[in-house]
Amino acid sequence: MLLKLYRNFSQNLKLRHKLIYAYTLLIIVPIIIVGELSYSQSESFLINEAVRSLESELIQVTDDINYKLDLCRKESELLLFDRQFNKILHTDYTNDIKKLNEAYIDIIMPKFENLRTMQTDIKVYTANNSLVFGNKNILSIDEIKNNPLYESIFAEKRHIAWLPVTDLAKSTSSNYTFYRVRNVDGSENTRSADNISYEKVLTLSRAVYDNSDSLQAVIDVYLPVSTIDSVLNNINLPDEGSWAYYGSDGGIITALDSINPDEEQVADILLSGNEFGTIYSENKILVYRKTSLNSGTVILSYPMSYISSRVKVIRNITRWTAAVSIVIVILMSYFLSSLITRRLGRLMSKITRIHDTGEADATLIIPGNDEIAKIDKMFNIMMSRVNYLKEQHLKSEVSKRVMEMEILQAQINPHFLYNSLSSIKWALNNPKIEYVDSVIDSLVRFYRLGLSKGREFISVKEELEIVREYVNIQKFTYDAVFELIYDVNEEVYDYYCIKLILQPFVENAILHGINQNKKDSYLKIGAYPERGKIDFVIEDNGKGFDTAILSTQEDLGDRAAYKGFGIKNAVRRIKLTYKEQCDVCIQSSPGAGTKVIIEIPALTYQEINQLFRQTP
């Protein structure tokens, strides 16, 4: 009894009422969604705010680093483009110590004093050994020639390079701080007054060449890594956050003594070639930006755990509420959902069957008086109408095809008859009038075969006989001396094709292709079976033409013969009949003759008869 009431209820209840009841029962779902979205958006908001803050700080930091790197570049340029200093570099003071002293006192020492106000220290390694005078800032280039750090300068001949971070011995005198060339150890002779320490430095190395492109000197500007650390330490990061600064070679210039990013992620960032970006992973957020002057990359690592801890309470409350609500919704919506989906499923089964087979199951009728049942009834009426229209369209297409074939055939026959009668008329006034009878006989045989009792198709043998009769007429008419070559495989005789597909191409070859003044002119007509196809070939060694004209709209006279009336109709008839199973290819070039290849399917009498009964 209850089942019967349930069935009647489901069949007669209007869809609108079903939706109302369903939405009423499912009202809890929006609450769950809102709660989950609130949680997810809170987390998303915190993440976006963290990323925006990191990106803003990273821009400031990289700009500060670029500024310091740019100071190194400017300091090197002060020497590189200084005419007085360059003149000294290229002057040999071996035999003139006095001038060397003057150069040091008047130019070299003042310049280095000024440069020290910009950076800690600068050194010049020169190939001019006469300048090496015990000064801490000008040294022999031999000091660095075999140093692998300078390979890009000496081997690759780069004009400017940022060397990997190295430890240099630092000596602080009463006036200024300078770096020694090598690390100082106990074996070296050092002044007891010097305070020796070691410091990591980033070196800008710049090559100076003379007019003959020969390396004259190398200018090194030292940037203490501690100055970069002071900039990076200003970044506001959580306890588990970290930063690292990588050079263009992938080596670490400096890093926070904390958890660093994974090596695989760092490799992906350094190889990506992007100037800046953000990478999200399960445990951390990586924000990176390059320092353009040395192609270095600053990477900031922000722990996701810091954000997760702030939204943990919201997440737990939201998920517990969602879990309880989902259980309630599943239990309460299970029965009502079947009221909608079961009968709609039957309608979908009918639509699917029509989609798969093209036929509807007339026995599958949805009972009831609700909207679904009414849709099914209207659908059945619509399908009946579609089937009727489809049948009418099919009949229309058949009639259209027959009429179009008749029109095309009517266009071709008068075209050829006009040319033939004109040729016979010309022959009547010719001394060879006694051969007119044979020409007329050929014309009669041509039309007898062409008419073929009203059939649209004939055997391939008959088609080749039509061409033979046509060639006989034309050779007589134009008193042509070209050689006619037949190369036909007799296997094609038993196949059938539409009639008069070769004659327009042969006509163009005789009238426009063959050179009548050329003694060795020939016209070759071939037919060959080819893997379920028949290839017809009409070939001559006449004038030829540029096949590019086939794709133009210009009227080019005789050169456009293959764009003419007869050819167009012949190609249209072939493609209309055989569709994608055929092909017409015209190959030619000026002075090299023309070759036409017509490919059609090899069809027996029964097969081509069936083809003409089918719809397009």
Model pLDDT for residues 60-101, shown as the tens digit of each residue: 999 999 988 888 888 888 888 888 888 888 888 888 888 888
Q: Which residue has the tokens 């094609």?
A: 492
Q: Please check the confidence at residue 158 and state whether its pLDDT lies above 70.
A: yes
**Domains of the chain with CATH codes:** 15-331 (no CATH), 395-613 (3.30.565.10)
Model confidence at 295: pLDDT above 90:
no
* Structure confidence at residue 476 as a pLDDT band (50, 70, 90): confident
Q: pTM of this prediction?
A: 0.46
* Cα separations in angstroms, 193 against 137, 171, 185, 198: 19, 10, 15, 16
Contact call for residues 471 and 507 (beta carbons, < 8 A):
no
- Residue 530, beta-bridge partner list: 533
DSSP code at position 454: G
**Per-residue confidence band for 175, with pLDDT thresholds at 50, 70 and 90:** low
pLDDT at 186: 39
Measured between alpha carbons, how far is 605 from 610 in angstroms, rounded to an integer? Answer: 9
Radius of gyration of the chain (CA): 47
Query: Mean pLDDT throughout 418-447?
Result: 70
Angstrom distance (rounded) from CA 471 to CA 480: 10
pLDDT attached to residue 351: 75
| Residue 346, pLDDT above cutoff 90 | no
Give the pLDDT mean for 17-23.
58
Task: Decide if pLDDT at 457 tops 70.
Answer: yes
The pLDDT assigned to 166 comes to 85
Helix (H, G, I), strand (E, B) or coil at 600: strand
Burial tier of 193 (Cβ tally within 10 Å: 0-12, 13-18, 19+): exposed
Q: Is pLDDT above 70 for 152?
A: yes
- Is the distance from CB of 593 to CB of 544 less than 8 angstroms? yes
Q: List beta partners, residue 432.
A: none
User: What is the model's pLDDT at position 185?
Assistant: 44
For residue 413, what are the CA distances in angstroms to 106, 288, 466, 508?
Answer: 108, 79, 13, 15
Q: Is 404 left (phi over 0), alpha (psi -120 to 50) or beta?
A: alpha
Candidate ranges 150-164, 178-192, 368-382, 561-575; pick with highest mean pLDDT: 150-164
Q: Report the chain's mean pLDDT, rounded to a whole number.
A: 77
pLDDT for 110-124, tens place per residue? 887 777 666 567 888
Backbone phi, psi, residue 494, to 5°: -85, -5
Is residue 363 classed exposed, middle or buried when 0-12, 13-18 and 19+ CB atoms within 10 A define those classes?
exposed
DSSP annotation string for 528-594: EEETTEEEEEEEE-S----GGGGG--S--GGGGGGGSHHHHHHHHHHHHHHGGG-EEEEEE-TTS-E
Q: pLDDT over 90 for what percent of the chain?
A: 9
Indicate if the pLDDT at residue 196 is higher than 60: yes
Confidence of residue 326 (pLDDT cuts 50, 70, 90): low
> What is the percentage of the chain residues whose pLDDT exceeds 70?
70
Q: Of 465, 78, 604, 438, nearest to 70 (Cα)? A: 78
356-405 tens-digit pLDDT? 766 655 556 666 677 667 777 777 777 777 777 777 766 656 555 555 55
